[in-house]
């Protein structure tokens, strides 16, 4: 059992050496895109929520 676990972790270590990690610039660029898109979606959903809440308030209160 321990032999298989050891082999597994050795394989993991080998695979980590093969991975082509992104550069710092690529990571920052990708993170910026994700944060920007998340912000745009959050603002859109917030505005849509307010509009729908106002519509529901008008319907409920008459």
- The domain total for the chain is 1
Q: Which two tokens stand for residue 3?
A: 């032999």
8-45 burial, b at 16+ Cβ within 10 Å, e below that, comes to: eeeeeeeeeeeeeeeeeeeeeeeeeeeeeeeeeeeeee
- Give the pLDDT of residue 2: 87
- Give the pLDDT of residue 12: 94
> Which residues form the domain of 17?
2-61
State the pTM of this model: 0.67
Kindly give the confidence (pLDDT) of every residue in the chain, 62 residues in length, as a single tens digit, with 9 standing for 90 and above: 888 999 999 999 999 999 999 999 999 999 999 999 999 999 999 999 999 999 999 999 98
- Give the pLDDT of residue 31: 98
- List the one residue out of 47, 49, 22, 19 whose CA is nearest residue 33: 22
């Amino acid at each position: 059992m321990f032999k298989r676990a050891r082999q597994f972790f050795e394989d993991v270590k080998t695979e980590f050496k093969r991975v082509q990690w992104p550069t710092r610039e690529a990571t920052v660029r990708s993170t910026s895109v994700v944060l920007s898109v998340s912000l745009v979606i959050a603002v859109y959903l917030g505005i849509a929520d307010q509009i729908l809440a106002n519509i529901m308030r008008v319907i409920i209160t008459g």
